[in-house]
Structure 1
Amino acid sequence: MDIDLARLTSHFEDLGIGLWDYDIDADVLECDATWCHLLGVPPGSIRSIAEFSVYVLPADRHQATALDLAGINAMVEADERYHIDFRVVRADGQVRWWRSIASLIIDSRQHRRALGCVTDTTELRQFGTTPLAEEENLPELQEAPPDADPNLSTREIECLRWVSIGKTAWETSRIVAISQRTVEFHLSNAVRKLEAKNKVHAAVIAVRSGII
């Protein structure tokens, strides 16, 4: 399949990353404006998993809304495929593919929250650039502004960007042409500098603070 790189690059440049924060114990879901825009709903209109599940294609509903808490953390720490791909039906009736990645946060009181990022991957799937396929044809993400964050290096920010769209350290190493160990080194530094629990949590912090 021929890939229209100009269109694909444009898609990446315009690709919004939506943030979600789910208080598991209180069953309260908070989503930012970009997340709501991707779903085509007004900000603040969805406040629970039950309300969100209405917009998920029935065949994908279980995997999109069920939380395997132990599995999430185990996969993140092992750098395995910690993302979920599923279809949503936007408010305007469009069916879109989403990729969501998650990080489990447990505070000192054992209160549980799941944080995550979501991206619309519909065009990427249409072009055949799903994970592990045609990494050499993926465009580079935009360079971070030089003053984005004085504590993170350009390479650390770049690696966090790929985490935010569901890439593992191995996949990122293929894309940016450095070793997997080097990617893991940069991600470890980013986690430490951002005082995050793990790399997904660091990506969420970076998106929320405008670093990526």
Structure 2
Amino acid sequence: MSSEIFNYDIHADIGELNTSFDVFKFLRKTTERYGLRYFSVLALPGDMMGSFNNHSIINNWPPEMIKAYDRLDLINISPVISALKSKTTPVVWHIDDVLTAKISETLASVRDPFYEKGFVRGVNFPVHDSRSLRGSVGFAGDREPLEHTELLELSMLSIHIFDRLSNITFHSEREAPPLSDRELECLRWTAAGKTSSEISTILSLSEHTVNHYLISATKKLDAVNRTQAVAKSIRKGWI
């Protein structure tokens, strides 16, 4: 099921994305075009420690899947992550090979929720930016395995996406936002369509705390509501 992505100028198309939210929308459409469900862009520094959210640059995973991933400590023990740190070629995987009794019986016992969410098979592409930051652009779903041509298309797209996100981040750093990291996180997830309740699950915060961060960000940006705060942050390239 090829999307014929080589029929247009990928670099020019992705070059028009000005914020991480633009990239989010682009990846969401791309994922749907290939009959897949999920995407993720991760930073993979040498010292891989912490949670999924510590390394996620952008993703559309359900909050409960992120919680399960972190509960299982997969960022540190997943064979996919391990392969990404040592390979330069795409890592194609099936959930049965990730949540396997070969690693632990606990992993093998929690496969059903991933199947139910359609998180069955996928591919992660090792990428890096001009500052030598290693990363991964991944796609997952429950369709039949990707064809060779599709893997080539997604590989090229992933290289451009990671480079674009790196440039967006670099330019955003030039004009530092007057917001805390938590305020930016809450705005970013709000821009992605998440409710305060969903954001609280993703960030492991109370819903009250999430609302506090959003109210604070709204005031700092002299916005009338969180929607305008999101819009201002997107225009500035902060989210």
Richer in helix (by share): 2
Q: What TM-score does the superposition give when structure 1 sets the normalisation length?
A: 0.39
Greater fraction strand: 1
Q: TM-score, normalised by structure 2?
A: 0.35
Structure label with greater radius of gyration: 2
The structure showing larger relative contact order (alpha-carbon pairs under 8 Å, at least 6 residues apart) is: 2
